Structures are given as C-alpha cells and as structure tokens.
C-alpha cells in the first residue's frame, strides 16, 4: 500500500486480505492509523532492493522463458548486489 492508495475501499480490501498499512497516513485523514517506524523502514529497504534488481535488464524485461532460469538470475543479481 502506498500513500496514493489510502481510500477507504482500498484500505478495507487490504485489511480483508490480511495486510496492515505500513505507510504513514495522510495528515488530513480523519481516522489515521498508528505508524510503526521500524516496519516502515523495512518496507523502504525492500522497495529499494526491488529498484536495484530492476537495474538488471534481464530481470525487468523477463528474457528467460523458464522460471528456474529467472529465479537463478534473480539469485545471481542478489549476490552481486550484496557484494557491492
């Protein structure tokens, strides 16, 4: 969930599916939810990881036909990212 999707319908659907909002609520929201800064920081780390993985052209364009090869290259990209 992102700050752009803070409508009541989206929030209700997310909670029905078992998700809890991690983004800070809009300042003018009538019923804001409590913000957990630790979970928000972890969410940010994951978002940045996906952005770095998309830097590998082979991942974002999904060249590989087999799921096994795609997963292997994602693992390879994670290793390269960890070594930087």
Over the stretch 22-65, which tens digit does the pLDDT of each residue have? 888 888 888 888 888 899 899 889 889 888 888 888 777 777 78
Neighbours of 34 (CB within 10 A): 7
pTM of the model: 0.63
Answer with the residue of higher pLDDT: 11 or 71: 71
* Confidence check: pLDDT of 4 > 80: no
Q: Cβ distance 65 to 59 under 8 Å?
A: no
Over the stretch 54-79, which tens digit does the pLDDT of each residue have? 888 877 777 778 889 889 999 999 99
Q: What is the pLDDT of residue 75?
A: 92
- Distance CA(20)–CA(7), nearest Å, equals 14
């Amino acid at each position: 969930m992102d700050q752009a999707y803070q409508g009541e319908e989206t929030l209700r659907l997310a909670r029905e599916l078992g998700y809890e909002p991690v983004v800070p609520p809009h300042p003018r929201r009538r019923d804001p939810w409590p913000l957990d800064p630790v979970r928000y920081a972890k969410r940010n780390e994951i978002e940045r990881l996906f952005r770095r993985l998309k830097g590998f052209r082979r991942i974002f364009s999904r060249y590989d036909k087999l799921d096994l090869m795609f997963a292997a290259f994602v693992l390879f990209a994670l290793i390269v990212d960890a070594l930087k």
